[in-house]
Chain A
């Protein structure tokens, strides 16, 4: 029996809970699909689906086996992708993700520094947001990434944590003072990276703005830094981002640094190695020297004023 193929059928039926729709998704007829599921049930010695009623439902053993089946399938995918890379002679390549707004000079410095450290290894860089990096690391299409925190950290290992001070980009024509408070931005729209690139960071940004007296009337999402700059120059919005130089606009730090971003390299816990380590060391040094990031000081003790509704066993 082709166990992997049968498990694939099982997962699709479990997702659709409908043999007709599952067969359609798999591009096969319904009778052979039913036969495969029955074959798999015989092989495993348990019923996977409850078909007694008019609905198809997962049995308790079916639910138990579903996660395992998905895990096996994703490992098989990784196996094929590794085989594919080996066939194409790409094993000498490190696939690394960088955030889209890192800046050209930082990317160039990173490539140069990595070339010095690992001359024989090809670096395949991709411009990719935090949420997509987490997904790509999980499914094995990325070896290492530079991402922002907080993010979904399950199964990931992280390099040294760096912080990046966030300030505001305004039109130079407004002649803003040297330092601004977040509340000075009241009334301006905000332009920020799309929420789906890093939902936790986006929500955190808006909560911090609101807490410091800046509740933007509208939030515009800009995937590309140049688009964000366009909105700033047009006087439509202000952008909150790390120090940046842009013609016609000025960057100003925020009083009290209410916003900082935490950045680190990340890789899958079970897929580290010398190459990943070399990239992490190089990227961490370049981000510190070229992108003005600083090693994260031990965080100040977080004050938590517990309320009864979130108290012990409440």
Chain B
């Protein structure tokens, strides 16, 4: 634990971490029950709610959705960056929202699932500290409104103004979409144990998280060819998160949730990204050697 704290400190972040052995229930936390801002990690509760509603017959995963350039939630990847009208099935939209964190795809899924359905699903699964306050587009709008800036570029440029960070509701777990590291790890455990939704839906969720493209956070901590890393990142100014499951060839499976907040208002901070992988590895190695 001291070792984990030192990695966080050396990377210039405060970190929250919770790791859980999926098969023995053994766990380890560093401020793992503190409320944290989910950022794009909210797409995992959304994905779970999507599959639960599909299983209940309340939506059709193969329904085709057409998105014109005018209805694009802003974002750095995927459909959010495209110029022309696209048509995709709902379930392929969940693919983009998980694998590249596509905000337009996520908000299109969000529109079909609904905020209340996500919060109800989390409550039904016993995750009482997990709560969504809105979709990605709304999060974007509160950021600009709170900062009184016209776009995210200017927000970044003015982020170091005194008082700016504390004015932003999107960075305050009591006023935005939130959970705790423990509850996010528990949600992953339910996905991996086929408890969050029907087994074939859980398998599909595991598949998508295994296809996530980012190598710089959780994945970077496990430079082993035979270890499978699945995850979902979340990013907002000064916040860098990832939750995921790490699977070893000997059958060991571990859910881990890491949420960091950097002291420096910098957009590029590779050591903070890498600290997520390093601390996750330290936590999982500790769980593995307790046997």
A interface with B by C-beta (< 8 Å): 183, 186, 207, 210-211, 213, 215, 302-305, 307-310, 314
Contact = CB atoms under 8 A, between A and B. Distances in A.
Contact of B285 (A207, A213, A302, A308): A213
A213 B225 contact: no
A308 to B, nearest CB: 5
Interface residues of B, number: 19
B213 A308 contact: yes
A308 B211 contact: yes
A148 to B, nearest CB: 21
Contacts of B285: 210-211, 213, 215
B228 A309 contact: no
A309 B215 contact: yes
B164 to A, nearest CB: 33
Interface in B202-258: 211-215, 219, 223-229, 247, 249
Nearest to B247: A305
Nearest to A308: B213
Interface of B is mostly: loop
Contacts of B249: 303
A1 B60 CA distance: 83
A305 B227 contact: yes
Nearest to A213: B289
Nearest to A306: B225
The 3 residue pairs across chains A and B that have the minimum distance between CB atoms: A213-B289, A309-B215, A305-B228
Given A307-B229, A309-B219, A211 B213 contact: no
Contact of B226 (A183, A207, A305, A310): A305
A211 to B, nearest CB: 7
A224 B228 CA distance: 39
A302 B227 CA distance: 11
* Most chain B beta-carbon contacts within 10 A, residue among A305, A308, A314: A305
B175 interface: no
A206 to B, nearest CB: 12
B219 A304 contact: no
Given A303-B225, A303-B249, A307-B219, A213 B212 contact: no
B99 interface: yes
Contacts of A207: 223
B99 A308 contact: yes
20 contacts: A186-B289, A207-B223, A210-B285, A211-B224, A211-B285, A213-B285, A213-B288, A213-B289, A302-B225, A302-B226, A303-B249, A305-B225, A305-B228, A305-B247, A307-B219, A308-B211, A308-B213, A309-B213, A309-B215, A310-B215
A189 B104 CA distance: 52
Contacts of A307: 215, 219, 229
A218 to B, nearest CB: 15
Contacts of A310: 215
A309 B215 CA distance: 6
Contacts of A210: 285
Interface in B84-103: 99
Contacts of A302: 225-226
A302 B247 CA distance: 15
B228 to A, nearest CB: 4
A183 B99 contact: no
A207 B223 CA distance: 9
A210 B221 CA distance: 12
B61 to A, nearest CB: 22
Contacts of B211: 308
A111 B213 CA distance: 56
Nearest to B250: A256
A212 B270 CA distance: 26
A213 B252 CA distance: 14
A312 to B, nearest CB: 13
B135 to A, nearest CB: 25
